[in-house]
Structure 1
Amino acid sequence: MTPTIPGFEYHRVPVADGVRLHVAVGGSGSPVVLLHGFPQTHLMWRHVAAGLAERHTVICPDLRGYGDSDKPAEDVDGSTYAKRTMAADVVELARILGHDRFALAGHDRGALVALRTALDHPGAVTHLLSLDVLPTLDMWDVMHGTTAAVGFHLYLMAQPPGLPEQLIGAAPDAFFGHFLDIWTRDTAAIPADVRAAYLKASREAVPSIVADYRASAHIDVEHDRADRDAGNRLTMPVSVLQQDWGSALGFDAAALWRAWAPDLDHRTVSCGHFMAEEDPAVVGGALRDLLDR
């Protein structure tokens, strides 16, 4: 049986033509939307969500293309899985659930969706928390030389349709499990039943996951570049939690984020990439601090 977040109610909410999001909702109070990363589902927020629900309405969707949400076919221009499209999903989901304004937190892929949501819909997002990622445009700019090998999956899934899906689909558990293993410092943070749920969800979503990553090598870069050229910035309070991988790759993560977010609190953490599961107290504390700003 697939694990769930205890005490949360589950819904399927239509957010676009032919797209329904699978979403867990719990608690009461001002709304907070939590977006998961790769290769995960909304379950990655299970510890943080439970604590937040004591004071907030907590909304945890599976992104389009992931988990039990719908997985529309990729279109030619990549817009189906553009972060702009996925951001519109988030705003519509919140609206249908009764919230025109909400705080937003995202990890990894979900953080890229959260960033685009805040840029495109600044009137809807009151606060923004990003976990362990750089904005798309900056991510590609800092990847160079042999150090870029750590992001081999970014380059693999950026290739035209066909080959990436075939290669990953031939051994999906090995591919997705590789990241669950190497990005985790505390292996007990992802117990066997949750790991199995992540692998099953990813195994069943290879084309849409690849399409999400492919969009980030093409259309998402165009959108980020247009915002940077226009001088668009995040107008709400922003917090970023990040591992210290910038020093290994030769960049200043805080400086890169500050160029997008004038009102920034940037913190370095000692846990692994899956920080909401490895150290939910730190993540929950950072989110509460952000909401008090």
Structure 2
Amino acid sequence: MHPTIPGFTYQRVPVADDVTLNVAVGGSGSPVMLLHGFPQTHLMWRHVAVELAAHHTVICPDLRGYGASDKPAEDAGAGGVTYAKRTMAADAVALARALGHDRFALAGHDRGALVAIRAGLDHPEAITHLASLDVLPILDTWDVMHGTGAAVGFHLYLMAQPPGLPERMIEASADEFFGHFLDIWTRDAGAIPADIRAAYLAASRASVPSVVADYRASAGIDVVHDRADRDAGNRLRMPVTVLQQDWGAALGFDAAARWRAWAPDLRHTTVSCGHFMAEEAPEEVVKAVLDLLTR
């Protein structure tokens, strides 16, 4: 038996010509979509989703290229558009509409937060509120990584390489590669129990080319899109809540200031836990999302 979110129903929803997403839906009320990060699936929201479903319709997809969602081949001739955050954001908006929601709140962690940010920039008419967990916008991520401190992001540089080498290297030791991040980014090892860890590793092992393509896009076409928005003064118009670990000072930059440049209506909060805060500090995440939705 594969783990599931208790009380949620599962369906497959077409969102593009060649992509159908695996989606868990629960609760009732105004809609909130939760987008997972790396190296995870929608299951990372299992605690948060159940709590939010007491008040809201909660939509938890696997992103394209991850989990049980479709994994289209990267189109090398299209400049990375298959896994551009713009494409993945369009998936999220199409998913919400397919489920009957023209407007919805959106929360993302890690990779899912990058998709959420892009959705907020590209589809302000659809995104009512936006929450980002433990990530900087793409341009800022690259701006702040330098010197020996950038060693923590070695995977960003590895997966930015042209197709071939990174896929082969990761596939040769997939469980060790993905398990490395589950280990070093977690303060409370018990937050990811054995069955959930096994599900993450199995899903990641089966998704190496698409996971790499997602990261490769963030060193290429995503930077182009974000830079165009920054140059044009395009900002997130909706209320934004950011939860981050206490890593800003350690890396020598002001994370809140970088976020304010993108989000004028911002609440930025530091959470004392590891990277996987929806699993390590779900109560704080639930409270932050519910507070966001009152703004």
What is the TM-score with the length of structure 2 in the denominator?
A: 0.99
- Cα offset for 1:59? 0.1
Equivalents in 2 of 1:97, 1:221: separation in Å?
Answer: 31
Tell me the equivalent position of 1:60.
60
Alignment partners' CA distance in 2, 1:49 and 1:131: 15
SS at structure 2 position matched to 1:169: helix
Q: Output aligned runs, 1:108-123, within 5 Å.
A: 108-123=110-125
Pairwise CA RMSD of aligned residues?
0.4
Deviations 1:38-65 (A, max 9, x none): 0000000000000000110000000000
Aligned residues: 293
SS in structure 2 at match of 1:160:
coil
The TM-score with structure 1 as length reference comes to: 1.00
Q: Are residue 220 (structure 1) and residue 222 (structure 2) matched? A: yes
Q: 2:267 corresponds to which letter in structure 1?
A: D
Deviations 1:147-186 (A, max 9, x none): 0000000000000000000000000000000000000000
In 1: Cα distance, 2:31 partner to 2:248 partner: 32
Question: Partner letter of residue 13 of structure 1?
Answer: V
What residue in structure 1 maps to residue 211 of structure 2? 209
Aligned equivalents of 1:3 and 1:17: distance in 2?
Answer: 29
The unaligned stretches of length 5 or more in structure 1 are none
Q: Whole-Å Cα distance in 2 between the matches of residues 249 and 152 of structure 1?
A: 15
SS at match of 1:13: strand
- Give the aligned residue type for 1:74: E
Taking every aligned residue pair, what percent have the same amino acid on both sides?
A: 81
Question: After TM superposition, what 4+ stretches of structure 1 lie above 2 angstroms from structure 2?
Answer: none
2:106 is paired with a residue whose SS is: strand
- The yes-or-no answer on 1:28 pairing with 2:28 is yes
Partner of 1:10: 10
1:43 aligns to 2:49 (yes or no):
no
Aligned to 1:155: 157
For residues 72-111 of structure 1, the aligned pairs below 5 Å read 72-76=72-76, 77-111=79-113
Superposed displacement of residue 245, structure 1: 1.2
| Aligned twin of 1:289 | 291
- Kindly state the Cα deviation for residue 221 of structure 1 after the two structures are TM-superposed: 0.2
What SS does the corresponding residue of 1:130 show, helix, strand or coil? strand
Q: Distance in 2 between matches of 1:15 and 1:200?
A: 24
| Contiguous gaps of at least 5 residues in structure 2 | none
For 1:3, give the aligned amino acid. P
Q: 1:187-240, CA deviations, whole angstroms, 9 ceiling, x for partnerless residues?
A: 010000000000000000000000000000000000000000000000000000
SS in 2 for 1:7: coil
SS for the counterpart of 1:34 is strand
Amino acid at match of 2:48: V
Alpha-carbon deviation of 1:2?
Answer: 1.0
How far does residue 29 in structure 1 lie from its aligned partner after superposition? 0.2
CA distance in structure 2 between the aligned counterparts of 1:156 and 1:248, rounded to whole angstroms: 23
Q: 1:90-123, CA deviations, whole angstroms, 9 ceiling, x for partnerless residues? A: 0000000000000000000000000000000000
2:69 partner amino acid: S
Question: Alignment partner of 2:213: what SS?
Answer: helix
